Structure 1
Amino acid sequence: MIAETVASAVSAAGLGIAAITAYRKRFLSATRIAAYSLVPVGLVMTGVVGWVSDIVFKPSVWLGFGVLGVAWLLFATTRAVERRGGGTRKERKAAEAAQRQAVAPAASAPSLGAATRPAAQPAPRAKAAAPADDFDDIEAILKKHGI
């Protein structure tokens, strides 16, 4: 009953403000204010306010929201672990098998005692190209265009 009274008062105040705005020849704003001021009365008339008040004041509803939150948290955690760990168990087993197959031929090759660089590290690049190489390229481009 209090919710209906408050909603009616808010709507009446909003309609009054809309009337004042329309009197000042700002019809677009007045129409928008009138639309917003009719929303509380519409919510009361459709029963949404009663439904929301039932949700707010029942502890079992809040426990239900808590259970839903825990379920969502578990889903999100498992998804994050799955992404970080390399996928599902089946995908990890397939990746391990592929890795074992790739390592097996390299392990059977005879070693000459020389240190080898791991495949994951790229070869070091030269710090700077010689200036003569740069000018040779530029000369070739200029000659190609007849300059």
Structure 2
Amino acid sequence: MIAETVCSAVAAAGLGIAAITAYRKRFLAATRIAAYALVPLGLVMTGVVQWAADTAFSPMAWAGFGVLGAAWALFMGTRAVERRRGGTRKERRAAARAAQTEAVAPAASAPSLGPSTRPAARPKTASRPTGGADDFSDIEAILKKHGI
């Protein structure tokens, strides 16, 4: 009962402020204030205020909100764990089966983990000099080619 009275008083005060604002020739602002002032009155008339007051002072309602909060926390906790693990157990098993059955090259008979296919190290030729002064012979040839 007191909540309805307070909301009605707020609506009346808001409409009074809207009337004063309209008197000052600020009609757009007055209309906006009147709209805000009518919201609490509409809530009282629809019974929302009575329902909210009954809910706010009901221990059973607060217990229900607590249970809903606990359920939400459990859902979010399980989702966080699933994200860290990479999905549910069923999803991980399905991904593992798909990875085992899919081959990159289906025509290949065995994995290519055998001996290396790299060519053997080049044998050293006797025609290349190993002296310190001849190390720059390639660079000198390039410089001469460009006229430097």
On whether the aligned pair clears a TM of 0.5, the verdict is yes
Larger of the two Rg values belongs to structure: 2
Give CA-to-partner distance per residue, 1:107-137, whole Å, 9 cap, x none.
Answer: x94578xxxxxxxxxxxxxxxxxxxxxxxxx
**1:98 offset after TM fit, Å?**
5.7
Aligned sequence identity (%): 72
Contact 2:4 2:50 in 1 (8 A): no
Q: Which amino acid aligns with 1:23?
A: Y
Give structure 2 stretches of 5+ with no counterpart. 104-109, 117-148
Please give the TM-score of this superposition, normalised by the length of structure 1: 0.65
Runs of 4+ in 1 over 3 A off after TM superposition: 94-102, 108-112
| Pair 111,70 (structure 1): closer, same or farther in 2 beyond 3 Å | farther
Please give the TM-score of this superposition, normalised by the length of structure 2: 0.64
Give structure 1 stretches of 5+ with no counterpart. 113-147
Specify the alignment match of 1:142 in structure 2: none
Specify the alignment match of 1:80 in structure 2: 80
1:4 equivalent to 2:4? Answer yes
**1:3 offset after TM fit, Å?**
1.3
- Which one has a larger percent helix, Structure 1 or Structure 2? 1
Contact 2:21 2:29 in 1 (8 A): yes
SS at match of 2:75: helix
Give the distance between the partners of 1:37 and 1:63, measured in 2 at CA.
33
Aligned length: 110
